[in-house]
């Protein structure tokens, strides 16, 4: 092997690690940037909504309430012996179509339901399926329950489920929420300033007073019911959030464990460039001298 | 003549050596520095009377006093957090404890309760260093002042850029007892001395 060929081989061998080292360097830089952008998306989305069931028909006896996922004949939830004025807690369910069926308490699950209704549950939304009206005209109504409040306020709506007093007026904290709410109707949500104050329901010379706390960031449904004697009001907390929404994001880190971004590659690239240039100059000169000598001989 | 060849060979050798050294230097500094962390200590689930408020949430539950997340080795007492003068969420002054935001519902009551903790300090890991490692279904335990336990399961793990933090989704009303755990995440901006994202873990009480 001639000296020239030996030199060439040395250059090749020296260049090899350059190539090999260069690849992982670029790859690792690429992975770092991919990881940071990919992190913006979450691990999973919550594609669920909420449903609750209520019996608000005064002269209808106890019922069994069934919840079916659409197209599935086995019930997802069964509530037994639900009486007037009772409601279930919210059930978290995957978004989709459902049907709710009411049967007389104790009736076979296979028997024809007295009433049924279909509900489309959208992700992130909550619904109340309420049996409303007198027994002779019982219906299942799907109510959209709100899950947000205006900043610093509470939301309240009223369900009038008193058969004894067909029309009632409702006021809270001196503010008239509804002056003539008819039996089996539902008022829209109203925004009120937070306070713990007296709610007054009156109709036909009867009235009921209860103290209701309406905190900022909470959503309430007040149900007017026939009591054993006179009117009764039940306060359902539909949803609750922070009384004051913090501004912006949370500053929960100081960076001690953060990966440091790689430093600039430029100085190293300059060293490599200079080295290669030097090697090339040396190699050329060497080849020239070798060629001159072999000619000279 | 021989002197010329020697010089040329020397130049060649120096060049090759410099190029190799440059390549080695490039490779050694191209990857981010990974900070060494002690191994994960998986904790046993705490024991105590598990009390889920069954109905209507208007019933009061006791204040939270401690938090245990066995899957990521978290066991911490809970301090109380309010808001800063600018209205932002106050964060614990210590990086080794988490805090409950007192403006949010108590853990286990109806609504979206909020607990925040640091991912790290200037030197090492904070109480919520591994929060983003939580997976759907992992359990979160909150012990309350009356000794009862509220148990939550993870339903989602999300990361949001801080300038697009969804305050309504995180702090807004929820119809069932939920708990949200907040810490920092993503890229740390050394010039701003701040992480650019927040990790939020959504959990729902196990009925």
Question: How far away is chain A from the Cα of B142, in angstroms, using its nearest Cα?
Answer: 18
CB contact under 8 A, A278 and B18: yes
Q: Residue A126 CA to chain centroid, in angstroms? A: 11
For residue A97, which of A113, A116, A78 has the smallest C-alpha distance?
A116
pLDDT tens-digit series, residues B34-89 = 566 677 777 888 887 777 655 444 567 999 999 999 999 999 999 999 999 999 99
B98-101 and B111-116 beta bridge pairing: antiparallel
CA-to-CA dists, residue B30 to A227, A263, B105, angstroms: 76, 7, 47
- How high is the pLDDT of residue A15? 58
Contact criterion met (CB below 8 Å) for A159 and A136: no
d(CA B117, CA B93): 10
- How high is the pLDDT of residue A291? 76
Residues of chain A contacting B37 with CB distance shorter than 8 Å: 257
Instruction: Using the predicted structure, report yes or no on whether residue B20 has a pLDDT greater than 80.
Output: yes
How sure is the predictor about B27, in pLDDT bands with cuts at 50, 70 and 90?
confident
Question: Which one of A148, A244, A274 has the shortest CB-CB distance to B103?
Answer: A244
Query: What's the whole-number average pLDDT of chain B?
Result: 89
Question: Which one of B91, B128, B163 has the shortest CB-CB distance to A251?
Answer: B91
d(CA B69, CA B141): 6
Interface test with B, best of A15, A240, A289 (most B CBs within 10 A): A240
H or E, element range at A188: none
Helix, strand, coil proportions of chain A in percent (round to 5)? 25, 40, 35
d(CA A84, CA A226): 9
B149-161 and B139-144 beta bridge pairing: antiparallel
CB contact under 8 A, B88 and A45: no
d(CA B156, CA B135): 8
CB contact under 8 A, B188 and A269: no
Task: For A236, name the nearest residue in chain B, comparing CA atoms only.
Answer: B56
Instruction: Using the predicted structure, report yes or no on whether residue A261 has a pLDDT greater than 70.
Output: no
- How high is the pLDDT of residue B107? 96
CB contact under 8 A, B175 and A126: yes
Instruction: Using the predicted structure, report yes or no on whether residue A122 has a pLDDT greater than 90.
Output: yes
- How high is the pLDDT of residue A27? 43
d(CA A79, CA A52): 11
Query: What's the whole-number average pLDDT of chain A?
Result: 84
Domain B4-205: give its CATH code: 2.40.260.10
More confident residue, A216 or B36: A216
d(CA A158, CA A223): 6
Percent of chain A with pLDDT over 70: 81
Q: Which residues in A14-36 are b (16+ Cβ under 10 Å) and which e?
A: bbeebeebbeebeeebeebeeee
Contact criterion met (CB below 8 Å) for B65 and B144: yes
Instruction: Using the predicted structure, report yes or no on whether residue B92 has a pLDDT greater than 90.
Output: yes
Tokens, residue B10: 């020397």
Residues 6 or more apart in contact with residue A120 via CB below 8 angstroms: A96, A97, A98
Q: Domain map of chain B by residue range? A: 4-205
Query: What is the pLDDT averaged over residues A199-213?
Result: 91
Instruction: Using the predicted structure, report yes or no on whether residue B179 has a pLDDT greater than 60.
Output: yes
- How high is the pLDDT of residue A257? 85
Contact criterion met (CB below 8 Å) for A294 and B44: no
pLDDT tens-digit series, residues A160-198 = 999 999 999 999 988 899 999 999 999 999 999 999 999
More confident residue, A260 or A110: A110
Q: Is the dihedral of CA B16, B22, B27, B33 positive or negative?
A: positive
């Amino acid at each position: 092997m001639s000296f020239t060929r030996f030199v060439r081989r040395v250059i090749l061998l020296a260049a090899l690690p350059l190539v090999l080292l260069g690849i992982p360097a670029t790859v690792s830089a690429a992975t770092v940037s991919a990881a940071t952008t990919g992190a913006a998306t979450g691990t999973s989305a919550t594609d669920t909504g909420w449903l609750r069931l209520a019996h608000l028909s005064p002269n209808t006896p106890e019922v069994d309430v069934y919840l079916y996922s659409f197209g599935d004949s086995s019930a997802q939830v069964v509530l037994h012996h639900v009486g007037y004025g009772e409601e279930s807690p919210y059930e978290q369910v995957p978004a989709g179509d459902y049907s709710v069926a009411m049967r007389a308490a104790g009736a076979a699950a296979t028997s024809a339901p007295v009433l049924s209704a279909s509900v489309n549950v959208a992700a992130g939304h909550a619904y109340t399926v309420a049996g409303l009206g007198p027994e002779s005209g019982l219906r299942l109504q799907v109510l959209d329950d709100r899950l947000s409040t205006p900043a610093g306020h509470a939301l309240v709506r009223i369900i009038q489920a008193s058969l004894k007093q067909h029309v009632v007026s409702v006021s809270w904290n001196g503010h008239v929420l509804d002056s003539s709410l008819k039996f089996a109707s539902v008022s829209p949500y109203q925004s009120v300033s937070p306070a713990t104050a007296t709610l007054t329901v009156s109709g036909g010379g009867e009235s009921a007073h209860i103290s209701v706390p309406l905190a900022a960031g909470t959503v309430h449904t007040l149900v007017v019911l026939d009591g054993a004697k006179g009117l009764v009001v039940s306060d359902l907390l539909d949803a609750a959030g922070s009384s004051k929404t913090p501004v912006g994001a949370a500053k929960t880190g100081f960076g001690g464990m953060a990966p440091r971004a790689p430093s600039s590659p430029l100085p190293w690239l300059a060293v490599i460039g200079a080295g290669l240039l030097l090697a090339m100059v040396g190699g050329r000169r060497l080849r020239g001298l070798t060629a001159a000598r072999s000619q000279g001989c | 003549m021989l002197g010329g060849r020697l010089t040329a060979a020397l130049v060649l050798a120096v060049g090759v050596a410099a190029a190799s050294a440059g390549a080695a230097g490039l490779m050694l500094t191209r990857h981010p520095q990974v900070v060494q962390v002690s191994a994960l200590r998986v904790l046993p689930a705490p024991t105590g009377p598990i009390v889920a408020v069954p109905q209507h949430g208007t019933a009061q539950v006791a204040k939270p006093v401690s938090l245990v997340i066995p899957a990521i080795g978290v066991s911490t007492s809970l301090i109380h957090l309010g808001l800063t003068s600018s209205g932002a969420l106050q964060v614990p002054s210590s990086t080794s404890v988490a805090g409950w935001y007192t403006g949010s519902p108590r853990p286990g009551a109806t609504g979206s309760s909020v607990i925040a903790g640091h991912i790290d300090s200037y030197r090492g890991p904070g109480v919520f260093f591994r929060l983003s490692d939580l997976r759907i279904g992992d359990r979160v335990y909150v012990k309350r002042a009356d000794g009862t336990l509220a148990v939550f399961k993870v339903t989602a793990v999300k990361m949001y850029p801080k300038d697009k933090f969804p305050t309504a989704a995180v702090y807004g009303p929820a119809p069932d007892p939920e708990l949200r755990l907040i810490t920092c995440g993503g890229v740390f901006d050394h010039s701003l001395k701040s992480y650019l994202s927040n990790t939020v873990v959504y959990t729902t009480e196990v009925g």
